[in-house]
């Protein structure tokens, strides 16, 4: 029997305390029900006072509106269905997931990831596993169930410690969750919540779904390099003192692509490239219908910008269908519809949470509590005179701390955005910058919290090789990634800001 890893005693006590506290929290959906009632109650209390502040939206004196009044309650009920159905994140996420669902169902994503991992030299295994983990974000949770166990299998087959492969994959899939070369449903989901929060102060604010894309794409390189360094220089050397169990089955390598799969993947990738080429050709002419009123592809109102989510849907659907036909996983249109149906089944809980989030944001906005917090918070921050870099760093740390208790990226941002986005807008910071800071904090502590839904699954993956592995094992394994990521990624954002490099399409640093 092998010796278990020995994570720091203090770390174990801290995580045990976090787990006890986190287990007392209600389900995220019920959390927003509670927040809705708290908003109503606070609006009743604070509507009794005068604040001597000016509402920046109207120029009129700022007052809190009592949401317990008969008028407000009847309006809330009258608008409930519209509030939910028109809540921006819902439609864009579901449309993107339709195409991605078909790509998962037909095996296109599975084969693409296996192909990427199967042609890598031994010394490049670590960065390639992390890269594939990052790319897997495009397929929602596929990385957790596919890339992380494959990381262990590949490292073991190459004569390296399998837990190092699991750690590297986990770091890419979850620790670098907000870093991606490829746009995904996460982008429009967060942008929609950010836009709703920004409109508390300025109803005319419209954000691009890819408002952080340049930063997240550049962050991918940072996560790969830092993850590579931490894995090879710290994590794997430490694992040498923890040999795998003697009776673990010998794994000779991951399953390679068969001839049919390889041929299907080749045709699928060519079809995707052809579609991208056609899109580029249609967008290049100055008279292109993709261009906006000013003749630009990236301006507000440009059809290309408005079509980003449908394009993500089509650019996954086309190669997925081609792959399925060539591989035999699609024999009729029913198979395509089945893939879409399965992806929608996985979104059921998301829709439940979004219903309550939409109602909370409606009440929070209508009450004017958000704008009151923003104005007072901005006054307080201005009085402190903190540098902008310190304020942004504080948002990263606050998000990372909250992430230990609330795992859902959308739930956390729906909670924080109505406060942080307007407050920083009052200080002159753009919603794009605030969202980028949130994404760093949201990603970097995913890998050290047992409350993250897939954390126990990673423990099971480790137990395939070291049966004594537990929560402490995985936490100690991932803590170096978490600490390194949050420090260097925050510095990377501050440097990015200092250089004035655009965060994404139609983005800015100031408001």
Domain containing 320: what range? Answer: 9-499
Q: Exposure of 466 by Cβ count < 10 A (0-12 exposed, 13-18 middle, 19+ buried)?
A: buried
Tokens at residue 297, please?
């592809």
Is 286 inside any structural domain? yes
pTM of this prediction? 0.67
Instruction: Single out the residue of 434, 421, 433 nearest to residue 378, CA to CA.
Output: 421
Place 451 in a pLDDT band, splitting at 50, 70 and 90: low
CB contact at 8 A, 172 and 223: yes
Question: What is the DSSP code (8-state) at residue 453?
Answer: T
- On whether the CB atoms of residues 228 and 165 are closer than 8 A, the answer is no
Q: What are phi and psi of 61, to 5 degrees?
A: -55, 140
Mean pLDDT to the nearest integer, 435-452: 86
| Dihedral sign, Cα of residue 295, residue 298, residue 301, residue 303 | positive
Q: Which helix (H) or strand (E) holds 459?
A: helix 455-463
Give the integer Cα–Cα distance in Å for 169 and 152.
8
pLDDT at 67 over 90: yes
Dihedral angle, C-alpha 301, 299, 311, 98, nearest 10 °: -60
- When pLDDT is averaged across residues 227-242 and rounded to a whole number, the result is 87
Dihedral angle sign, alpha carbons of residues 49, 54, 58, 59: positive
3-state secondary structure 270-307: HHHHHHHHHHHHHHCCCCCCCCCCCCCCCCCCCHHHHC
Of residues 177 and 168, more confidence is placed in 168
Token pair for residue 254?
A: 């991951």
Is 112 a domain residue?
yes
Residue 252: the pLDDT is 42
Q: Report the C-alpha gap between 407 and 167 in whole angstroms.
A: 19
- Our count of domains for the chain comes to 1
Using CA atoms, how far apart are residues 441 and 482, in angstroms rounded to an integer?
10
pLDDT for 368 equals 87
Residue 39 in domain: yes
Answer for the pair 372, 429: CB distance below 8 angstroms, yes or no: no
* The total number of residues written for the chain in this structure: 511
CA distance 35 to 38: 5
6: pLDDT confidence band, cut at 50, 70 and 90? very low
Residue bearing the bigger pLDDT, 247 or 285: 285
Please determine, for residue 123, whether its predicted confidence score (pLDDT) is greater than 90: no
Q: Does residue 39 register a pLDDT over 80?
A: yes
How far from chain centre, in Å, is Cα 153?
Answer: 26
Q: Is 505 a domain residue?
A: no
Report the C-alpha gap between 38 and 360 in whole angstroms. Answer: 10
The single-letter DSSP state of residue 1 is -
The predicted pLDDT at position 270 comes to 96
Q: Are the beta carbons of 226 and 126 closer than 8 angstroms? A: no
Q: Which of 12, 254, 243 is nearest to 114 (CA)?
A: 254
Which range (96-105, 326-335, 344-353) has the least confidence? 344-353
Class of residue 118 by CB neighbours under 10 A (exposed 0-12, middle 13-18, buried 19+):
middle
Q: Which whole number is the average pLDDT over 418-432? A: 87
* Predicted pLDDT of residue 240: 81
Q: How much is the pLDDT for 458?
A: 83
Identity of the highest mean pLDDT range in 27-36, 168-177, 263-272: 263-272
Distance CA 75, CA 80 (A): 8
Q: Note whether residue 504 is domain-resident.
A: no
Q: Per the domain annotation, does 506 fall within a domain? A: no
pLDDT(349) > 80:
no
Give the span between the Cα atoms of 372 and 370, in whole angstroms: 5
Q: How far apart are CA 116 and CA 110, in angstroms?
A: 10
Rounded Cα distance, 90 and 350, in Å: 9
Inside any domain, residue 2: no
The Cα 307–Cα 416 span in angstroms is 28
């Amino acid at each position: 029997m092998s010796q278990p890893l020995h994570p720091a005693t203090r770390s174990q006590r801290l995580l045990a305390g976090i787990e006890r506290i986190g287990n007392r929290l209600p389900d995220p959906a019920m959390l927003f029900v509670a927040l809705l009632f708290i908003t109503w109650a606070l609006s009743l209390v604070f509507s009794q006072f005068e604040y001597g502040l000016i509402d920046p939206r109207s120029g009129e004196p700022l007052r809190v509106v009592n949401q317990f009044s008969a008028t407000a309650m009847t309006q809330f009920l009258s608008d409930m269905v519209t509030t939910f159905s028109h809540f921006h994140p819902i439609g864009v996420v579901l449309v993107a997931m339709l195409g991605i669902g078909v790509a998962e169902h037909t095996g296109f994503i599975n084969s693409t990831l296996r192909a990427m991992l199967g042609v890598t030299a031994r010394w490049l295994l670590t960065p390639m596993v992390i890269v594939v983990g990052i790319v897997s974000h495009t397929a929602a949770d596929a990385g957790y169930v596919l890339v992380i166990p494959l990381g262990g299998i590949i490292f073991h087959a190459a004569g390296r410690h399998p837990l190092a492969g699991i750690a590297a994959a986990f770091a890419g899939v979850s620790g670098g969750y907000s870093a991606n070369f490829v746009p995904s449903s996460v982008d429009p989901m967060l942008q929609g919540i950010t836009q709703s929060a920004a409109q508390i102060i300025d109803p005319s604010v419209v954000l691009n779904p890819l408002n952080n894309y340049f930063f997240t794409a550049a962050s991918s390189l940072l996560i790969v390099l830092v993850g590579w360094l931490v894995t090879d220089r710290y994590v794997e050397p430490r694992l040498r003192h923890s040999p795998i169990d003697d009776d673990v089955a010998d794994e000779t390598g991951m399953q390679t692509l068969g001839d049919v799969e390889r041929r299907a993947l080749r045709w699928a990738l060519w079809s995707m490239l052809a579609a991208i080429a056609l899109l580029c050709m249609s967008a290049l002419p100055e008279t292109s219908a993709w261009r906006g009123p000013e003749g630009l592809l990236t301006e507000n109102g440009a059809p290309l910008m408005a079509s980003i989510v449908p394009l993500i849907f089509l650019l996954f659907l086309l190669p997925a269908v081609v792959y399925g036909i060539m591989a035999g996983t699609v024999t009729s249109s029913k198979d395509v519809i089945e893939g879409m149906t399965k992806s929608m089944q996985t979104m059921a809980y998301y829709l439940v949470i979004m219903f309550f989030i939409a109602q909370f944001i409606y009440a929070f906005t209508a009450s004017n509590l958000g704008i009151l917090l923003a104005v007072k918070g901005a006054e307080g921050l201005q009085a402190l005179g903190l540098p902008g870099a310190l304020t942004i760093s504080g948002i990263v740390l606050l998000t990372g701390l909250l992430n230990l208790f609330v795992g859902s990226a959308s739930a956390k941002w729906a909670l924080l955005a109505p406060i942080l986005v307007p407050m920083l807008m009052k200080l002159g910071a753009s919603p794009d910058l605030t969202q980028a800071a949130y994404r760093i904090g949201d990603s970097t502590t995913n890998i050290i919290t047992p409350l993250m839904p897939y954390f126990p699954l990673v423990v099971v993956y480790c137990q395939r090789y070291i049966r004594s592995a537990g929560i402490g094992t995985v936490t100690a394994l991932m803590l170096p990634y978490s600490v390194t990521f949050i420090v260097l990624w925050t510095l990377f954002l501050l440097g990015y800001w200092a250089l004035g490099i655009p965060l994404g399409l139609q983005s800015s640093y100031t408001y």
